[in-house]
């Protein structure tokens, strides 16, 4: 795995904004990335659709799909061992916990992108996850009617929290021109990153 | 049929779901098909004509998983009736609840047990046995096994699902599964689903290499492929047969199939039916395990002794107040120092030890997967501990008294535990090694003859007496060790007892440990934080040829450098160490400062100043979250050092703060960061954890009347819960200031839900509280 790609994301998640290296924690990031890679049990599942499920008739999803009716519903996770380790570090080493958590988030995004490129093609939109862009996280409950996420070890609680915590559920389709933006984000008006011209996602 | 199990190869059936799908009924709830389409289900069961056992179509039939409109009892009876048309032995199928158990999920062990017990009690008189399958979580499977065994005496087969990592989704290895399920007394064990026989090869081989009871397998018909959005399996019956046949010579007892397999698959396997099962005669070992860590007691290991309140005032207080964070942190320190097993004793006067042991072990195992030794003279506490332990524990202890053995051995037997056997009896501590040897023999024989407990599950303690008062008997302990080893058992000793009452205890402990290792000690109970004692253990393993090629020893010590006293070390100040988060330096630097400064001066002029400076740099973007946390953690150590030397008097605390993540929310990273920063500033933080019921927050307010109540939530869905919590606090006229925080919170939302304040991060929180106090 090329850690240099991931490290930029890790530093961003840790609040470093434009700075991409810090001597005091760079070694810890390396350690954590290795450990995340060792512990992760990455799983991905998807289902292809050529018709709109009722949920996607909502305006926000229509804006994303731009009239397309061919798309994938997908779910992915790094597995439980990552959650167990975050919990362990929350007691033994809080600093490492925060860094490990950021590494796990970066690794999940990396593996998910890689899986999609390898299996679904590289002309895909960004992953639209309910809760983003004026949609409700409650929409996740609709999506999981079609995806048996238990098969890959994800549970969706009543509050729409996913466990294990390094899991994602979303929608993608074949349109690489569809990029993520800040529109509709809950933090749009008071985002600390936006103040400095940075985004939490790759532009 | 029962006698055939383990002696003759028997056939289970194949996939039910895939057969239902073939008949175009996959959109229906499979359980409900037992009532809506009984003929289809019967036809599928009948098609498995070569199977010796038929699995009832009842996989998801428990009150947690099944949410349909039929009565569970009605569905269960219909399912059984459909299976009975075959005239064969029927196994009631119990699958997982579909909800994750704590700590990751919300379901408790007792809730899972209750759901499984309910269905077992409904059907137990109508079936020949139970098959518990497709489990990923060992704890949930334990609940299911106990639900069957405590409610009936029917046979129980149990299997787990493995993935490409050769572990279940919750991290259980094949060896851990085997040790745990055998300990719990299942009839047969194995693996099913997840992968095909080829992909499961290593898992199946590993199970067969360590199991001592019948093994069954039910792999999928290969790996699923996707077509038109649906999964299908394209492995043929011949291909399946060719993979499976490799396992038969390794000792397989029963064979079936899971998703993607069909009657043709089972028909092909018929050539094996009633052939003799190859006996593996696998060796027995002394194994203690959690759900994810297995410890084989062999060579010289270390059992950490620090989770024992004897002579430890702070630990006594923490246990008495049910403050288990302290225990969790100590357990992690012991693990990181190299302890293989941790002794857990919560024997504090006037507390409910049964409740305390249960709560303590659940708290520890939530964070630390090092196997535990449950240490108590209270048999009820031991029983509850063994029940709620996620794995196979070590129990401390029995002795030669029949009454004690009859109290503890049934628990050992039921939960598959290992047990420490003290070589004393109702006549007291024997004076000679020979007498202790005789008691050991008596205990081992009694365990086997009356309870069927093998000697591999017994670890003998030949008793350490203190050299200060029983000097002549120290050698008897070592002689007894040598004698006891001839019985083929493992041994343990509470090493530090030898030096009680004498100065320079560590010298005596080291010398005694070294002698005991040579005499045959396997599991010293000792302080793993004592580096030199741990060095004795590691050296002992090298010198006794346990650590082959001294691999572990070299790995541990190769980088250790001796610092020459002539090399000058740059003077490090407490302020610098706090800013840089140098945790290892904090205690010594704080003690040095205490030689010349008053505690309050150190706190205000150095620690708080350092934290404020770090906070300023953080706000200016010159320092970042990891450094903020590191400084906070370092500062906590300084505070703890000062408190130890100058215990706080009542009323001296900076203030109590209650924090929690609200009901329905299980994210707690942000909350934990706030906690460590607040503690670094000297506040006493009462952490109620995550998914906190509203009534617990109100109870905490009534108990502590804290300065501040901090509520955290990550999701828009759980902000509602935050609002309800605030309402409940207002109803009791809460006078504490209520702060809220979390990714989705804003000032506006905070105001709308009735909070007093919103803080965007831990630093802002502590600054606002400091201002409040002013």
Q: What is the CA radius of gyration of chain B?
A: 30
Q: Using an 8 Å Cβ cutoff, are B757 and B738 in contact? A: yes
Q: What is the pLDDT of residue B26?
A: 85
Residue of higher predicted confidence among B224 and B655: B655
Question: Pick from B428, B380, B379: which is nearest to B403 by CA?
Answer: B379
Torsion of CA B284, B290, B295, B296, to 10 degrees: -10
Helix B325-337 × helix A80-92 angle, to 10°: 100
- Residue B229: pLDDT band by 50, 70, 90 thresholds? low
Q: Is B665 on the interface with A (CB under 8 A)?
A: yes
How big is the A-B interface in CB pairs under 8 Å?
A: 127
How far off is chain B from A92, nearest CA to CA, in Å? 6
Q: What is the pLDDT of residue B682?
A: 86
Determine whether B126 is exposed, middle or buried from the number of CB atoms within 10 Å of its CB (0-12, 13-18, 19+).
middle
Sign of CA dihedral B136, B142, B143, B147: positive
Is B332 in contact with A136 (Cβ distance < 8 A)?
no
Whole-angstrom CA distances from B635 to B20, B208, B225, B320, B581 are 63, 52, 55, 27, 8
Residue in the structure block whose two tokens are 């085997």: B178
| CA pair distance B666, B135, nearest whole angstrom | 23
What stretches of B609-672 adopt beta strand conformation (E)?
656-661
What pLDDT digit, counting tens, does each position of B683-729 carry?
A: 999 999 989 999 999 999 999 999 999 999 988 888 899 999 999 99
Question: Pick from B628, B601, B579: which is nearest to B765 by CA?
Answer: B628
Q: What is the pLDDT of residue A189?
A: 67
Which of A14, A43, A186 has its CB closest to that of B744?
A: A186
Q: What is the pLDDT of residue B567?
A: 46
| CA pair distance B121, B119, nearest whole angstrom | 5
Q: Is B231 on the interface with A (CB under 8 A)?
A: no
Contacts of A75 in chain B (CB under 8 A): none
Average of per-residue pLDDT values in chain B: 93
Q: What is the pLDDT of residue B646?
A: 75
Is A90 in contact with B367 (Cβ distance < 8 A)?
yes
Q: Is B30 on the interface with A (CB under 8 A)?
A: no
- Residue B546: pLDDT band by 50, 70, 90 thresholds? very high
Percent of chain B with pLDDT over 90: 80
What pLDDT digit, counting tens, does each position of B271-299 carry?
A: 999 999 999 999 999 999 999 999 999 99
Contacts of B169 in chain A (CB under 8 A): 41, 79-80, 153
Per-residue pLDDT, averaged over B604-608, amounts to: 90
| CA pair distance B537, B495, nearest whole angstrom | 12
Is B664 in contact with A80 (Cβ distance < 8 A)?
no
Determine whether B382 is exposed, middle or buried from the number of CB atoms within 10 Å of its CB (0-12, 13-18, 19+).
buried
Two structure tokens written together for B609? 């100043």
B interface test, pick of A136, A157, A158 with most B CB neighbours within 10 Å = A157
A158: nearest CA partner in chain B: B664
Whether the pLDDT of residue A203 is over 70: the answer is no
Which of A24, A41, A90 has its CB closest to that of B672?
A: A90
- Residue A3: pLDDT band by 50, 70, 90 thresholds? low
Whether the pLDDT of residue B217 is over 50: the answer is yes
| CA pair distance B510, B146, nearest whole angstrom | 43
How far off is chain B from A179, nearest CA to CA, in Å? 23
Whether the pLDDT of residue B230 is over 90: the answer is no
Q: Is B105 on the interface with A (CB under 8 A)?
A: yes
- Residue B228: pLDDT band by 50, 70, 90 thresholds? low
Measured in Å, how far apart are chain B's first and last C-alpha atoms?
79
How far off is chain B from A175, nearest CA to CA, in Å? 20
Q: What is the pLDDT of residue A186?
A: 66
What pLDDT digit, counting tens, does each position of A97-130 carry?
A: 999 999 999 999 999 999 999 999 888 998 999 9
Whole-angstrom CA distances from A101 to A49, A167, A168, B667 are 33, 12, 15, 12
Which of B99, B136, B715 has its CB closest to that of A137?
A: B715
Whether the pLDDT of residue B569 is over 50: the answer is yes
Q: Using an 8 Å Cβ cutoff, are B194 and B160 in contact? A: no
A interface test, pick of B669, B670, B671, B677 with most A CB neighbours within 10 Å = B669
What stretches of B588-673 adopt beta strand conformation (E)?
656-661
Q: Which backbone phi and psi does B659 adopt, to 5 degrees?
A: -130, 155
pTM, 2 dp = 0.90
- Residue B231: pLDDT band by 50, 70, 90 thresholds? confident
Whether the pLDDT of residue B555 is over 60: the answer is yes
Q: Using an 8 Å Cβ cutoff, are B218 and B244 in contact? A: no
Q: Using an 8 Å Cβ cutoff, are A75 and A38 in contact? A: no
Whether the pLDDT of residue A5 is over 90: the answer is no
Is A24 in contact with B629 (Cβ distance < 8 A)?
no
What pLDDT digit, counting tens, does each position of A36-47 carry?
A: 999 999 999 999
Per-residue pLDDT, averaged over B452-477, amounts to: 94
Interior/surface letters B281-294, b for 16+ CB within 10 angstroms, e for the rest: eeeeebbbbbbbbb
How far off is chain A from B427, nearest CA to CA, in Å? 45
Beta strand pairing status for A155-156 and A162-163? antiparallel
Contacts of B369 in chain A (CB under 8 A): 84
Is B721 in contact with A159 (Cβ distance < 8 A)?
yes
B620: nearest CA partner in chain A: A16
Q: Using an 8 Å Cβ cutoff, are B303 and B492 in contact? A: yes
């Amino acid at each position: 795995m090329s850690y240099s790609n991931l490290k930029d994301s890790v530093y961003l998640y840790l609040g470093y904004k434009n700075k991409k290296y810090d001597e005091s924690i760079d070694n810890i990031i390396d350690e954590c990335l290795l450990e995340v890679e060792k512990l992760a049990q990455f799983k991905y599942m998807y289902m292809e659709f050529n018709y709109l499920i009722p949920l996607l008739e909502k305006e926000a999803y229509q804006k994303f799909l731009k009239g397309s009716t061919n798309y994938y519903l997908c779910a992915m996770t790094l597995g439980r061992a990552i959650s167990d380790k975050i919990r362990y570090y929350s007691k033994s080493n809080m600093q490492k916990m925060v860094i490990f958590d950021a590494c796990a988030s970066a690794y999940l995004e990396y593996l998910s992108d890689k899986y999609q490129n390898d299996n679904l093609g590289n002309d895909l939109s960004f992953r639209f996850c309910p809760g983003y862009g004026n949609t409700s996280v409650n929409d996740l409950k609709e999506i999981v009617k079609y995806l048996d996420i238990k098969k890959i070890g994800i549970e969706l609680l009543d509050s729409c929290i996913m466990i294990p915590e390094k899991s994602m559920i979303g929608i993608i389709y074949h349109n690489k021109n569809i990029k993520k933006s800040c529109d509709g984000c809950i933090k749009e008006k008071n985002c600390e990153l936006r103040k400095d011209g940075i985004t939490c996602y790759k532009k | 049929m029962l006698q055939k199990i383990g002696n003759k190869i028997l056939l289970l059936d194949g996939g039910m779901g895939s057969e239902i799908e073939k008949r175009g009924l996959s959109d229906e709830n499979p359980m409900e098909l037992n009532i809506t389409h009984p003929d289809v289900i019967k036809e599928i069961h009948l098609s498995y004509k070569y199977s010796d056992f038929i699995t009832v179509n009842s996989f998801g039939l428990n009150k947690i998983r099944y949410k349909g409109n039929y009565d569970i009892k009605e569905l269960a009876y219909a399912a059984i009736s459909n299976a009975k048309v075959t005239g064969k032995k029927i196994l009631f199928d119990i699958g997982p609840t579909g909800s994750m158990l704590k700590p990751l999920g919300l379901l408790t062990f007792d809730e899972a047990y209750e759901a499984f017990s309910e269905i077992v009690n409904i059907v137990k008189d109508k079936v020949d046995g139970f098959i518990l399958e497709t489990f990923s979580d060992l704890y949930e499977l334990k609940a299911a096994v106990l639900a069957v065994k405590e409610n009936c005496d029917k046979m129980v087969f149990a299997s787990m699902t493995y993935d490409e990592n050769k572990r279940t989704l919750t991290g259980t290895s094949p060896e851990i599964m085997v040790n745990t399920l055998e300990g719990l007394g299942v009839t047969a064990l194995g693996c099913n689903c997840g992968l095909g026989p080829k992909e499961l090869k290593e898992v199946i081989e590993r199970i067969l290499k360590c199991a001592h009871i019948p093994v069954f397998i039910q792999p999928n018909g290969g790996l699923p492929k996707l077509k038109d959005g649906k999964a299908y399996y394209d492995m043929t019956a011949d291909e399946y047969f060719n993979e499976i046949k490799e396992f038969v010579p390794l000792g397989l007892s029963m064979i079936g199939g899971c998703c993607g397999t069909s009657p043709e698959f089972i028909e092909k396997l018929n050539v094996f039916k009633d052939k003799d099962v190859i006996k593996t005669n696998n060796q027995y070992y002394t194994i203690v395990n959690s759900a994810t860590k297995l410890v084989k007691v062999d060579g010289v290991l270390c059992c950490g002794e620090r989770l024992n309140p004897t002579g430890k005032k702070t630990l006594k207080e923490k246990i008495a107040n049910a403050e288990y964070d302290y225990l969790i942190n100590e357990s992690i320190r012991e693990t990181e120092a190299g302890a293989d097993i941790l002794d857990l004793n919560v024997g504090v006067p006037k507390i409910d030890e049964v409740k305390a042991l249960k709560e303590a072990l659940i708290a520890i195992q939530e964070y630390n997967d090092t196997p535990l030794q449950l240490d108590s003279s209270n048999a009820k506490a031991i029983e509850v501990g063994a029940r709620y332990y996620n794995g196979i524990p070590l129990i401390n202890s029995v002795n030669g008294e029949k009454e004690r053995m009859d109290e503890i051995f049934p628990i050992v037997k039921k939960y598959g535990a290992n047990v420490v056997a003290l070589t004393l009896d109702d006549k007291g501590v024997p004076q000679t090694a020979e007498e202790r040897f005789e008691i050991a023999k008596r205990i081992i024989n009694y365990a086997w003859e009356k309870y069927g407990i093998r000697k591999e599950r017994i670890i003998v303690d030949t008793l350490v007496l203190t050299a200060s008062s029983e000097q002549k008997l120290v050698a008897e302990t070592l002689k007894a060790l040598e004698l006891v080893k001839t019985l083929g058992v493992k041994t343990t000793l509470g090493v530090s007892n030898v030096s009680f009452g004498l100065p320079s205890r560590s010298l005596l402990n080291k010398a005694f440990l070294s002698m005991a290792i040579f005499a045959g000690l396997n599991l010293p109970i000792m302080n793993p934080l004592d580096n030199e004692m741990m060095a004795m253990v590691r050296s002992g393993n090298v010198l006794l040829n346990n650590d082959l090629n001294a691999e572990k020893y070299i790995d541990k010590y190769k980088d250790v450098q001796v610092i020459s006293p002539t090399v000058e070390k740059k003077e490090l100040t407490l302020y610098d160490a706090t800013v840089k988060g140098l945790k290892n330096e904090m205690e010594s630097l704080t003690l040095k400062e205490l030689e010349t400064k008053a505690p309050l001066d150190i706190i205000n002029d150095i620690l708080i100043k350092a934290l404020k400076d770090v906070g300023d740099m953080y706000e200016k973007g010159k320092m970042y979250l990891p450094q903020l946390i590191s400084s906070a953690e370092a500062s906590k150590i300084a505070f703890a050092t000062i408190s130890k030397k100058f215990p706080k008097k009542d009323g001296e605390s900076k203030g109590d703060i209650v924090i929690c993540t609200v009901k329905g929310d299980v994210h707690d990273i942000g909350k934990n960061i706030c906690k460590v920063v607040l503690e670094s500033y000297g506040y006493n933080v009462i952490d109620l954890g995550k998914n906190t019921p509203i009534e617990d927050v109100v109870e905490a307010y009534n108990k502590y009347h804290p300065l501040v109540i901090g509520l955290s939530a990550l999701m828009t869905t759980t902000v509602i819960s935050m609002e309800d919590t605030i309402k409940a606090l207002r109803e009791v006229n809460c006078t504490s200031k209520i702060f809220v925080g979390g990714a989705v919170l804003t000032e506006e939302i905070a105001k709308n839900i009735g909070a007093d304040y919103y803080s965007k991060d831990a630093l802002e929180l502590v600054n606002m509280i400091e201002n409040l106090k002013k």
